[in-house]
């Protein structure tokens, strides 16, 4: 089912886009939890991590992490460090059911996460 992220992909609603290829889009989170907080999404609709199949999606996942590394470099957080997170389902607090990789950086992160 399409989510608000499909509207961002289709440029029907605005977003602060920082990276775009044929397969992947990345934009700043509207409610940032760190100085750098960017969401990296596939352009195809995959609701969540449990819908991923290695046989189908490994290349796409590789492209999402390529995006994370390019963006981290551009944002100046590649050397200081950053966190990448996929929230999956209710207990993890997933709100938008279109797969997205959070890229968070620019401050010291705590572990374990809340
Ligand atoms: P999650 O809780 O992992 O599903 O994360 C969803 C994220 O999407 C949250 O961090 C929201 O702040 C973010 N978000 C929701 N709507 C938008 C939007 N229109 N533009 C940018 N980020 C959004």
Question: Which domains, ranges and CATH numbers included, belong to the chain?
Answer: 4-105 (3.30.428.10)
Contacts of 76 (CB under 8 A, 6+ apart): none
Q: What's residue 114's pLDDT?
A: 84
Beta bridge partners of 24: 42
- The Cα 14–Cα 64 span in angstroms is 21
Q: Which residues are catalytic?
A: 100
How high does pLDDT run on average in the chain?
Answer: 98
Distance 60 CA to ligand 1 centre (A): 21
Tell how far CA 40 is from the center of its chain. 3
Q: 57 pLDDT band (50/70/90 cuts)? A: very high
pLDDT tens for residues 2-55?
A: 999 999 999 999 999 999 999 999 999 999 999 999 999 999 999 999 999 999
Distance 11 CA to ligand 1 centre (A): 16
Report the half-sphere exposure of 8 (CA within 13 A, side-chain side).
26
Ligand 1 pocket, residue 29 CB under 6 Å: yes
């Amino acid at each position: 089912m399409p989510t608000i992220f499909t509207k961002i992909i289709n440029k029907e609603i605005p977003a602060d886009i920082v990276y775009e290829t044929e397969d992947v889009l990345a934009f700043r989170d509207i409610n940032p939890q760190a100085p750098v907080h960017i969401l990296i999404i596939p352009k195809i609709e995959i609701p969540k991590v449990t819908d991923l199949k290695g046989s189908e999606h490994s290349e796409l996942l590789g492209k999402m992490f390529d995006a994370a590394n390019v963006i981290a470099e551009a944002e100046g957080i590649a050397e200081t460090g950053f966190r990448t997170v996929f929230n999956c389902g209710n207990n993890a607090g997933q709100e938008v059911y279109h797969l997205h990789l959070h890229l968070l950086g620019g401050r010291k992160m705590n572990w374990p996460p809340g």
